[in-house]
Amino acid sequence: MTNKQLVATWVRRFLLEHVIGDLNLSRNTQASYRDTLSLLLPFAAKRQGKAIDQLEVEHLSADVVRRFLVHLEDERHCSVSTRNQRLASIHAFARFIGSRSPEHLAWCAQLTAIPFKKAGKGTLPYLEKPEMDAMLAAPDRRTRLGARDHALLLFLYNAGARADEGARLTIADLDLGPSPAVTIIGKGRKARLCPLWTSTASALKALVAGRGGSDPVFLNRRREGITRFGVYALVRRYAAQAARRVPSLTTKRVSPHVIRHTTAVHLLRAGVDINTIRAWLGHVSIDTTNIYAEVDLVMKAQALSMCSVPDTPRRSWHAQPGLMAFLRSL
């Protein structure tokens, strides 16, 4: 008979039975829950002076969790958003136990009452057209890896794809016929169809020639599917190279998600309506896409010029002697 007081009893059930079996969450979400518990349990065991497999549910008290969140920010130098993401995982774990073990309901309520910390919103980073063009020109397309890198950068920019979406893309997802397009499986396993530019389709066609439909589109040096970490490293590497030609890139932290933001802003500047951009990027809500309309300084300047007040010369009161004589007479 399992001991319902031990945390170990619940961890396997939570990760396998609930996260994977019941909810069928994405691999990234599964990894996020797993990583949170991998950090929390050793921290709590050290605080309580217990072995990890001897930790009881009550040992994960609200005080311990609060100290763990402080530890994330102060010692691991995590951002507020990362801290909140870890707390969301802890809330989910607590609710799972509380819903199946009534004796832990009070404990569950204490943990889920720990609030998320408000994080300030910074400006949304994106690249200007010359900066993006410099990145696309950086790979040496005469080499096999350079051709792959150029195709990957072009695909990220064309589709506004996330790093994970590019890493998981297979040849079967591509339609390189007369009207080239790609099917992208995004967050929540939602599929979206995105048109491909002729240049993107040509680069991808050369890259996948002679390979099977189930193969990943983008391969690493070992001829295995590239990982999302590999995509991040590739983007950072070419951003550093492109910065030699376009110095403004040195002030920006370029990542695959910055290229995704860039796609949205450039589509908006080209006159594409916001709802089409929402579908292009795979956003569930139009509110998420509306942020791009708020960050583009070029479009704001254009709007300002359309409603600016004409600069008419001001008339001095000295030019109206009759009026001034009237006022002095009062």
Annotated catalytic residues are 162, 187, 257, 260, 283, 292
**DSSP states along 293-319:** HHH-HHHHHHHHHHTPPP-PPPPPGGG
Phi, psi of 113 (to 5 degrees): -80, -10
Structure tokens at 211: 């390979």
Question: Using CA of residue 98, residue 100, residue 101, residue 102, what is the dihedral sign?
Answer: positive
**DSSP strand pairing (174-175 vs 181-185):** antiparallel
Q: Using alpha carbons, select from 120, 96, 118, 116 the residue that is nearest to residue 107.
A: 96
Q: Using alpha carbons, select from 170, 267, 260 the residue that is nearest to residue 215.
A: 170
- Coil, helix or strand for 190? coil
In order of 84, 97, 119, 232, the CA distances from 40 in angstroms are 14, 16, 22, 27
Structure tokens at 201: 């389709």
Strand partners, 174: 182
User: 254 with 135: CB under 8 angstroms?
Assistant: yes
Question: Using CA of residue 43, residue 45, residue 51, residue 55, what is the dihedral sign?
Answer: negative
In order of 57, 167, 316, the CA distances from 323 in angstroms are 86, 77, 12
Rg of the chain in Å (alpha carbons): 27
- Coil, helix or strand for 167? helix
Structure tokens at 184: 């992208």
